[in-house]
Amino acid sequence: MVEQTAHIRFVRGPSPFAARKTFLEFREVFSFHKRFVDLPFHTTYDETMEKKRLTIKDIAREAGVGIGTVSRVLNNSPHISESSKKAVLQVVERHNYQISAEAAGLARKTKRRKLVGILLPDISNHYFFEVFESVYKKFKNLDIDLIILNYTDHTSETVKRILETNLCALMLFAIHLDKEDLQLLKNRNIPYLYVDSYQPDEHCIHVDNHTGGVLAANYLLNKGCSKPCYIHGPTQAQTDKDRYAGFAATIETALSVSPLQYHAIITEKSGYEIAMQIIDAGECDGVFCFCDEIAIGVLKAIRRTGSSLSVIGYDGIRVSEAWNLSTISQDPELVGERAVQSVLPLIDKITDEGPKQIQLVPVLIDRNS
């Protein structure tokens, strides 16, 4: 009889909700008779049923105490007898019960913790990580936690998680959200800041890439280069386009020729390989790279071959100093710092007027590379 009962198959009715309710009632009754039939409390009827989450009510029943007691034990409240405590913890342990933080938070009196969300790009040069590091360090002193929201292609999935997360602000690193997702954020009044990309009518902070390209061009020209080239990173990125545009325009004005163009992915290895090609071809005497990682690869190739190629990178990440690499620095630490400065007022809803847009200017760090 017990076996039979345990295998009853509940067919979903028109409303799964109702069906579930029915089952719960069923289990409730069943549980009541537990002592007679000796069926484990946890019996589920079928895998078609959504797995029931364990609640303190379940724990309380099984431990033979009230839910209040369970709650108190879980929260280490005083005035609990050792025996109750032990009983509860035993059941908790046995079922690997985990409290629902949502429910707890909802019921609690004191609220409002500060949590800032961050979206980091997939294909990332180390630059973003250094910006992130800077952001992290600033928030560390402000009693603000940081959540890094994982995301893949489908931003809509990510946005869904964002909305489930009680953020007080969101930082978007080199990511563009589409209208619909943005609207969702706006509906929910979650302030957000674009980092490293310019967005009209939005809070954003970025470093002027066009100017960076110009600086790089001037660097190579000053070194006496007459046959400069550019190694692209991700060509679909606006940053890549802008850097090249500034670079090419300056070169063309000065030399009346367009710079040669190469393409690499953002790794030292890729930079090294392209550099070997460039050196072999012998058609260039100066290289401007989309980012420092590529440039370091180029530098390695130069040092290995003894080539006289000049090279300049972009970003100003920490290792560039060690390699003695000239670079157009975006000062990741500063960017992070300013980003935090921008976000703070948004968190506290001190949104005076329109969007705050910050444009920083990159600087040349000349290490004679």
For the CA atoms of 276, 278, 279, 283, the dihedral, rounded to the nearest 10 degrees, stands at 170
Measured from the Cβ of residue 165, the count of other Cβ atoms closer than 10 Å reads 13
Q: Which two tokens stand for residue 91?
A: 């059941």
Considering only residues 9 through 68, tell me which ones interact with DNA, judged by CB under 7 A. 14-18, 21, 24, 53-57, 60, 64-68
Is there binding between residue 195 and a second copy (CB under 8 A)? no
Site string for DNA, 102-131 (x = CB under 7 A): -xx-xxxxx---------------------
Task: State which residue, 93 or 353, has the beta carbon closest to a second copy.
Answer: 93
| Helices marked H in 14-117 | 16-32, 34-37, 56-63, 67-74, 82-95, 101-107
Nearest residue (CB) to a second copy, 229 versus 302: 302
Cβ closer to DNA: 67 or 360? 67
Q: Is 74 in the site for a second copy (CB under 8 A)?
A: yes
Of the candidates 232, 237, 287, the residue with the CA atom closest to the CA atom of residue 263? 232
The verdict on 53 binding a second copy (CB under 8 A) reads yes
* Residue 252, CB-side half-sphere exposure with 13 Å CA sphere: 9
The answer for residues whose C-beta is within 8 angstroms of residue 15's C-beta and 6 or more apart is: none
Q: How far is CA 160 from CA 106, 180, 311, 343, in A?
A: 20, 12, 44, 21
- Find the shortest distance in angstroms from Cβ 365 to a second copy: 15
State the Cα–Cα distance between residues 172 and 169, nearest whole angstrom.
Answer: 10
Please, which residue, 225 or 299, has the CB nearer to a second copy? 299
User: 83 or 141: whose CB is closer to DNA?
Assistant: 83
143 scored as a contact of a second copy (CB under 8 A): yes
Coil, strand, or helix at residue 30?
A: helix
72 versus 206: smaller Cβ distance to DNA: 72
Q: Contact with DNA (CB under 7 A): which of 22, 33, 42, 75?
A: 75
Per DSSP, what are the bridge partners of residue 327?
Answer: 313, 365
**Beta bridge mates, 289:** 231
**Angle value at C-alpha 344, between 340 and 347, nearest 5 degrees:** 130
Number of residues that bind DNA (CB under 7 A): 39
> What count of other Cβ atoms lies within 10 Å of the Cβ of residue 223?
17
Q: Contact region for a second copy (CB under 8 A) — 131-139, 205-213, 225-233, 278-286? A: 131-139
Asked if 123 is part of the footprint of a second copy (rule: CB under 8 A), the reply reads no
Taking CB under 8 A as the criterion, the residue among 25, 102, 283, 366 binding a second copy is 102
Residue 81 contacts a second copy per CB under 8 A = no
Nearer to a second copy among residue 41 and residue 323 (C-beta): 323
Q: How far is CA 346 from the centre of its chain?
A: 19
**CA 88 – CA 94 distance, rounded (Å):** 10
74 forms part of the interface with DNA (CB under 7 A): yes
Distance of CA 1 to the CA centre of its chain: 54
Q: Which of 218, 323, 358, 364 binds a second copy (CB under 8 A)?
A: 323
Choice between 146 and 254, CB closer to a second copy: 146
Which residues are at the interface with DNA (CB under 7 A)?
A: 14-18, 21, 24, 53-57, 60, 64-69, 71-72, 74-75, 78-81, 83-85, 99-100, 103-104, 106-110
Which residues are at the interface with a second copy (CB under 8 A)?
A: 50, 53, 73-74, 76, 89, 92-93, 96-106, 108-109, 111, 113, 115, 120, 122, 129, 133, 136, 139-140, 142-150, 152, 161, 163-166, 180, 183-184, 187-190, 296, 318-319, 322-323, 349
